[in-house]
Structure 1
């Protein structure tokens, strides 16, 4: 089940996302000198910085939503905690659009998700993922790894479309990020309350997202 949910081909709209990389590249990330491998390596550093900040917020929200779904609580109570830690309106909108995609898929494949969440609503992606994790029997650690891997692979996959990156190099970056993903697991796997979700800010990621939302010509939605 975790492998299925981590598949980029899952019909949730994930292919429209770059996890902010497109805006970062427009701002100069990875483009110091064309063909410079060190400059391209900034992509992996960008993905790592997201794992240390915004992904911890997302993963923490997913873990708490899962726990509430399992214990008879209301996963929707996680939404304001997540929103307070996600100041960018553009990032919130992107997450809610993907969350709606997951919710529509869940209605077809895991209808028990609708016992906890309203049908066809725009809800934060981590909240929907947390409830899907609860319904499908994923552990808290599996849910965190899913959130962390999905974010990192989104950045890496987008780099292949935005920069002159070799696929083998991109795969190597993703492999090297696995220890950082496990750090996210250790940081949030035992959370049970929305107030415990980390508040790890990434101001430049927020700025990139807001700038990207106003671009007329773009390859990715966010």
Structure 2
């Protein structure tokens, strides 16, 4: 196993103190809107083709731009343009600050003052560059983390068999790997995918104004 693969395991651990435990990856508002637990596998697939693909692509591009000493603000702007929901953008930047703490503690180094305004995929890209995580493993991390976030949240929102939830993630792994291999060669902000998910974006906006909720997003 390569060091990159071991780092993938470390960064994909749900116990990493990055703030991920506060998230449901949109599942809580989806359930409130009528999505059933049985539809969660389809929800996972829909996210992988849209918002997760955008996040993974942005992270891979941020890694490439950081490696070349480029301006990560250009990647942040490209990610924001592909994330229409203000609530999702705010969540992404809040998670970015969590990963920035991980970066500064585990892989310290010069950091742009603008970094606190960067989203999770952009900070992850910078982290991957510093930690020498390869692009395909970085994209795998984003895909895997999204699926695990959804299924972990489901067990709190609609308690069920945790092995069934784990089986759903297992079944998604080939698609996550395929996405990662497709996105790994990306180098410029213009290459970031732009698939949208209007329902997920609308649910995020509604959830942002909901007072009684278990997860922040």
Please, what TM-score do these two structures have when normalized by structure 2?
0.94
Is 1:21 the counterpart of 2:27 in the alignment? yes
SS at match of 2:147: helix
Q: How does 1:186-205 map to 2 (within 5 A)?
A: 186-205=181-200
Q: How does 1:2-41 map to 2 (within 5 A)?
A: 2-30=8-36, 40-41=37-38
Find the counterpart in structure 2 of residue 87 from structure 1.
84
Is 1:137 the counterpart of 2:143 in the alignment? no
Find the counterpart in structure 2 of residue 111 from structure 1.
108
Q: CA deviation at 1:117?
A: 3.4
Distance across 1 between alignment mates of 2:114 and 2:106:
13
Q: CA deviation at 1:185?
A: 1.0
Deviations 1:55-102 (A, max 9, x none): 111011000100011122122210110000000000000110010011
Distance across 1 between alignment mates of 2:115 and 2:81:
23
Contact 1:104 / 1:119 at 8 angstroms: preserved in 2?
Answer: no
Q: CA deviation at 1:119?
A: 7.1
Distance across 2 between alignment mates of 1:52 and 1:90:
20
Distance across 2 between alignment mates of 1:5 and 1:119:
23
SS at match of 1:12: coil
Aligned-residue Cα RMSD (Å) equals 1.2
Please, what TM-score do these two structures have when normalized by structure 1?
0.92
Count of aligned pairs:
211
Find the counterpart in structure 2 of residue 34 from structure 1.
none
Find the counterpart in structure 2 of residue 164 from structure 1.
159
Distance 1:158 1:5, change over 3 A: same
Q: How does 1:206-217 map to 2 (within 5 A)?
A: 206-217=201-212
Q: CA deviation at 1:164?
A: 3.4
Contact 1:64 / 1:193 at 8 angstroms: preserved in 2?
Answer: yes
